[in-house]
Amino acid sequence: MKKRFFGTDGIRGKTGEYPITPDFFVKLAYATGLVLTKHHKSKNNPSVVIGKDTRISGYMFESALEAGFSAAGVDTYLTGPIPTPGIAYLTQKLDADIGVSITASHNPFGDNGIKIFTKNGTKLSEETEIEIEQLLDEALVLVTTAKLGKARRLDDAYDRYIRFCLNTVSNELDFKHYKIVIDCANGATYHVAPKIFRSLGAKIITINNSPDGLNINEAAGSDHPESLVQAVKKNQANLGIAFDGDGDRILVVNNDGSIIDGDQILFIILNYFQQQQKLKGGLVGTLMTNLALEEKCAEMNISFHRAKVGDRYVAEALREKEWMIGGENSGHIVLLNYHSTGDGIISALQLLSALEVNKMSLSEALANFSLYPQQLINIPIKEKLDLDSQIIKDLVKEAEMIMEGKGRVLIRPSGTQPLLRIMTEGPEKLLVVKAANYLAKAIN
């Protein structure tokens, strides 16, 4: 069956426009509760952990989810604002049946949505998402009053997650000589990230760390690094770290203001794991992963695999292959030896650990690794295009000819927005840009 609502990473859209409405969230929680009850073996009620980022609409949707779950006989733990990977962790720690994060990730405050985790801290399978969608049209029939779900606030949620993150770092490492600027995107990391990095001894400067419900991701965070670049230079910091709105991915800024993307972060951590003899298996990237990283893996005698775009597909491939490290150039880094899902804070901690163990700066760690130029153009679309059509195939061949046969072309629909993404990549930047512009104009 084709899914109606679930996309690459949960459900997401503009608040107030169907399905991002309170009544839908009630039905969604109720349908999800029915699925939980169906598979629940204990005599006690199933349970769910519900967290959120800092959007003003999160309060409304939290109440709607609580009502829907309660009607289905599911108990709820409410954490308040916390990074999405914190929900994945707490779901496992509390032995809950599922975890729900109310978030639209890096989208502006006017959007919202949900990400759902299994009791093992993994993203829901597509089969379970379809099972939930099939029950959305069921009449909402309350369980008996005695079976209604109970709700309680989890007052120590932040402290539990902070301890979990800190336990991924060796006690022998000393970060006192690091000056780091942290951009919390006025989002879910605002409570926990500064505490975690300060507790390791680093000198921390925070920016975009005063959420008001309306300013999440506003000229801030991993999608808007301009203010972080300025702050790193102004404060002569060693580096800067930007999180997205829900804290599951990062972008890093070097001391000279240059931007370090997910592929470069992956290379540093991969190299570190190999040095420390921690590496198990190879590296999983995606269709968007820079060709230079694939070539570097071959040089290091490390297997490389491309998954579909989306951290859920990276994690699925890692589990299938029994590997431990993968990610996306957007900054989603999955380290299964530490967490069941992508975690921006843990990724940053492992990056810092790699630098500290090797006594290297970011520039030194990347001295023998250069990315190929990439050009990404997003085109708004109203309906699905047939990307397997002959005309698209001919356009791709023409773009490859523009790059003199030395480049790579990828055209794909966005999994979260009504956009067509065009990416070209190759050793010659001018030809890469020319090819991307040609494709965008032709497809438009």
Task: Delineate the domains of the chain, giving CATH numbers in brackets.
Answer: 11-155 (3.40.120.10), 158-369 (3.40.120.10), 374-443 (3.30.310.50)
**How high is the pLDDT of residue 329?**
94
Q: Report yes or no: 225 and 183 within 8 Å, Cβ to Cβ.
A: yes
Residue 205 tokens read as 């400067």
Say how far apart CA 189 and CA 257 lie, in whole Å: 22
This prediction's pTM? 0.92
Q: Which of 178, 342, 371, 393 is nearest to 259 (CA)?
A: 371
| pLDDT, position 314 | 97
Whether 192 contacts 158, CB under 8 Å? yes
C-alpha dist (Å) from residue 386 to 8, 308, 390, 411, 440: 19, 18, 9, 11, 15
Q: Is 105 annotated as catalytic?
A: yes
Q: How many Å apart are CA 147 and CA 354, to the nearest integer?
A: 50
The rounded mean pLDDT for the chain is 96
The predicted structure's pLDDT at residue 245:
98
Question: Model confidence over 229-240: pLDDT tens digits?
Answer: 999 999 999 999
pLDDT of residue 416: 67
375: phi then psi, degrees, rounded to nearest 5: -125, 120
Q: How confident is the model at residue 42 (pLDDT cuts 50, 70, 90)?
A: confident
Catalytic residue among 57, 70, 101, 105: 105
Mean pLDDT computed over 189-195: 97
Instruction: Tell me the average pLDDT across 14-36.
Output: 97
